[in-house]
Amino acid sequence: MSDLRIIDIEKKYRSAQAKDEASFLLSPVQLTIREGEFFSLLGPSGCGKTTLLKLVAGLLEADGGELWFGNENLSNVPPESRKFAMVFQQSLLFPHKTIEDNVAFGLKMQKVGKKKRLNAARSMLDHVGLSGFGRRFPEELSGGQQQRVALARALVANPRVLLMDEPFSALDPSLREEMRELLSQIQKDFRVTVLFVTHDRDEAFALSDRIAVMGEGQLRQIGSARQLYERPHNTVVASFLGLKNILSGQVTNGRFVSSDKIIDASVHHPLADGDYYMIIRPESIKAAAADQSGHVSIRGIVQEMKYVSGSYNLKVIAETQVLECVLTPFQAEQTAVGESIDLLVDMKEVWFLKE
Amino acid sequence: MWQKSKPYLLLLPASFTIILLFFGGIFDGLLKSFGYFPAIGETGLNLTAYDRLLHSSDFWQSMALTLRVAALSSLISAIIGAFLAVALFFVNNSTKKAIPRPWQRLFQLPLTIPHLVAGYMVVLLFTQSGFVSRLLATVGWIDGITEFPVLVNDSFGWGIILTYAWKEAPFVALMLYPVLSRIHGSWSDVSRVFGAGPWQFIREVVVPVMMPAWTIATFIVFVFTFSAFEVPYLLGVTYPSVLPVYSYQLYTSGTLSDRPEALAVNMILAAITILLGLVAYYISKRWNVLKGWG
């Protein structure tokens, strides 16, 4: 199998002022990206995801660790010989080359004959929906079209791994959506291994087979979108993925009592006694008064209501705890800001983390 | 009305001086090259001076020398200048800082020195009795200073070429550097990821990007060296001489009847320069697509 294996790769950036202290540290990363997999590195700005991508590309020199592709050790192989391709945040097309020459650039570097490489470039332009644009120059294309060309340039060289550094972040939302769909389709058609960097949770969730959440130069958790969202390993990952309902409390004899006493319910998972965080996904909170088995009832005051594409996001304050929940427009119409509301939390849907 | 015309009126003295001196001089020269010379009683217009020139072997030898000196000077300074600019670009890229000040000063130095002084420096350094010759003789690389090749006041024009190469290469480099500094730092990353080594990056990206500015810089050097007077006058031989010196020799030869020929030489020089300007303009128009890049 031609998996991409990252073994304890690390990188230190020295600060310009303090001579002894590293200003940024990418802690040793251990990661295997399977052949044909769409793998995303997800994290906030400055967490080290682009550094890791550039280390994989060979554009940065690692301070330690190894990079393997199948049985080939790429640790000391220069980027031009790794047979990877990359799409950057900006399209970075060469302005003096026509679109088809830009697309054929990688093949030209591989010494592929002119006729063959231009035919391949035209066919790839057709794939990204830009047939007939080959003779134009980059400045004659829109931002979205330029990024499609950058994608075609990366794919035409038949790379072993396609590296993508926030390629759609400079595009407007509708174009971003369109590009995601195109990339998803192309990745399925070509079965290319993709290592994708993004800070956009929805983008990572929509595209990826697996995701690694990064923070402060470390890999926090690896898993599928659902695993990460429903079973985060720590509160940092949970917060980054938008899970803001984190209640601290104690489990005693199979019963969780939150610190502010708004929740007192038996837990569905076998948990040892101790201090825990209970994480409630906004979607697992319903607006309902009647008690149902396996549910816990919370009464609070609506602090904020926001309409977001088809549903309402509510912030409800219960004692000192702010809870975020998602309601249908029908449910939301029954309440208003400042009014009290009864919420039901399905205890089967909550997730506990040891403090 | 006054507000509208005020700027033009303020510009009038300067415009008048430029028009009078530049176009007036050219017009006067043109008239005289056509044989209009009231001082010697010639008031008719004819092409005799041009005809005599075009049938004179001295003129064609002079033309050949001028073209050779100008072509070699511009070619050598273009190559050295481009090499310097690319080297500065890579030094800059590797240090991620602007050009270090001492380097900048070093490249600016030849620009501040007048051509005549540069010519004298070449005389002092490269004549057979010059500094380099005596240094080589002292360290034993040559047996005596007479073995040192004749580089100054030689019939090929090496001294002139050497002076212009030294003077104009930094000019070319400083013309190219701002263009190169607009090259996106990430283009190097792009080309590396797609399999290009440093030389392929230079060939595929750096050279095409600097080509328009390079052509213009080389053209400026060519036109300047083609019509320059003082350095060839100082470092050239009496025969054959470059066209501007040939024109001067004709003009000051003593007979007024030679003057239309001298001015015809100047008109031919001006015509060739304009022609080359048009060629350079049309070449650079082909690269207009690069206008919006970066």
pLDDT, tens digit, for every residue of A132-188?
899 999 989 998 899 999 999 999 988 999 999 999 988 888 888 888 999 999 888
Residues 90-119 of A with CB under 8 A from B: 90, 92, 94-97, 105-106, 108-110
Q: Do the chains contact at B194 and A85, CB–CB below 8 Å?
A: yes
CA-to-CA distance for B150 and B128, rounded, in angstroms?
6
β-partners of residue A307 are A312
Share of chain B above pLDDT 70, in %: 93
Query: Looking at residue A21, what is its pLDDT?
Result: 56
* Chain A residue with Cα closest to B195: A80
B189 inside 8 A of chain A by CB: yes
Query: Looking at residue B22, what is its pLDDT?
Result: 86
Structural domain span for residue B254:
238-286
Tell me the CA distances in angstroms from A191 to A4, A41, A78, B185, one per residue in order.
Answer: 14, 19, 25, 31
Task: Please indicate, yes or no, whether the overall pTM of this predicted structure exceeds 0.90.
Answer: no
The answer to whether residue A105 scores a pLDDT higher than 90 is: yes
Q: Which helix (H) or strand (E) covers residue A32, if one does?
A: strand A22-33
The answer to whether residue B96 scores a pLDDT higher than 70 is: no
Please give the single-letter amino acid code of residue B239: Y
- Cβ neighbours of A86 in B, within 8 Å: 189-190, 193
Is A185 found in the same domain as A41?
yes
Which of B221, B253, B275 represents a domain boundary (last residue)? B221
Structural domain span for residue A303:
243-354
Is B168 found in the same domain as B247?
no
Counting Cβ atoms within 10 Å, is residue B12 exposed (0-12), middle (13-18) or buried (19+)?
A: exposed
The answer to whether residue A17 scores a pLDDT higher than 60 is: no
pLDDT, tens digit, for every residue of B161-212?
988 988 888 889 888 888 888 787 788 889 999 999 889 998 998 888 888 8
Average pLDDT score over chain A: 89
pLDDT, tens digit, for every residue of A64-96?
899 999 999 999 999 999 999 999 999 999 988
Number of domains in chain A: 2
- Among A45-54, A288-297, B139-148, the range scoring the smallest mean pLDDT is A288-297
Is A143 found in the same domain as A12?
yes
The answer to whether residue A192 scores a pLDDT higher than 50 is: yes
Share of chain B residues as helix, strand and coil, in percent rounded to the nearest 5: 80, 0, 20
- Model confidence at B294, pLDDT cuts 50, 70, 90, reads very low
Is A104 found in the same domain as A228?
yes
Determine the residue among A105, A107, A142, A162 to mutate to test chain B binding: the one whose Cβ has the most chain B Cβ atoms within 10 Å: A105
Determine the residue among A87, A90, A94, A140 to mutate to test chain B binding: the one whose Cβ has the most chain B Cβ atoms within 10 Å: A94
Cα torsion A170, A176, A179, A184: sign: positive
Number of domains in chain B: 2
Residue B101 lies in a domain: yes
Query: Looking at residue A118, what is its pLDDT?
Result: 94
β-partners of residue A301 are A317, A340
pLDDT, tens digit, for every residue of A231-279?
999 999 999 998 889 999 999 888 888 888 888 888 887 888 889 999 9
CA-to-CA distance for B245 and B39, rounded, in angstroms?
24
Tell me the CA distances in angstroms from A152 to A74, A87, A195, A210, A254, one per residue in order.
Answer: 25, 9, 16, 24, 56
Three state DSSP letters for B25-83 = HHHHHHHHHCCCEHHHCECCCCCHHHHHHHCCHHHHHHHHHHHHHHHHHHHHHHHHHHH
Instruction: For residue A294, count other CB atoms closer than 10 A to its CB.
Output: 14
Query: Looking at residue A34, what is its pLDDT?
Result: 93
Is B163 found in the same domain as B266?
no
The answer to whether residue A25 scores a pLDDT higher than 90 is: no
The answer to whether residue B155 scores a pLDDT higher than 60 is: yes
Which of A179, A213, A236 represents a domain boundary (last residue)? A236
Query: Looking at residue B292, what is its pLDDT?
Result: 43
Q: Do the chains contact at A96 and B193, CB–CB below 8 Å?
A: no
Which of B166, B192, B221 represents a domain boundary (last residue)? B221
* Chain B residue with Cα closest to A90: B186
* Chain B residue with Cα closest to A53: B193
- Cβ neighbours of B93 in A, within 8 Å: none
The answer to whether residue B97 scores a pLDDT higher than 80 is: no
Q: Do the chains contact at A95 and B187, CB–CB below 8 Å?
A: no
- Cβ neighbours of A58 in B, within 8 Å: 192
In this structure, what CATH number is given to the domain that contains residue A129?
3.40.50.300
Which of A236, A259, A293 represents a domain boundary (last residue)? A236
Which residues neighbour B281 within 8 Å (Cβ) at sequence distance 6 or greater?
Answer: none
Rounded to a whole number of angstroms, the distance from the CA of B13 to the nearest CA of chain A is 44
Rounded to a whole number of angstroms, the distance from the CA of B31 to the nearest CA of chain A is 46
pLDDT, tens digit, for every residue of B203-253?
998 888 888 888 888 988 998 898 888 888 888 877 788 999 999 988 888
Rounded to a whole number of angstroms, the distance from the CA of B58 to the nearest CA of chain A is 46
How large is the ipTM? Answer: 0.81
Which of A92, A110, A163 is opposite residue B186, by nearest beta carbon?
Answer: A92
Query: Looking at residue A49, what is its pLDDT?
Result: 92
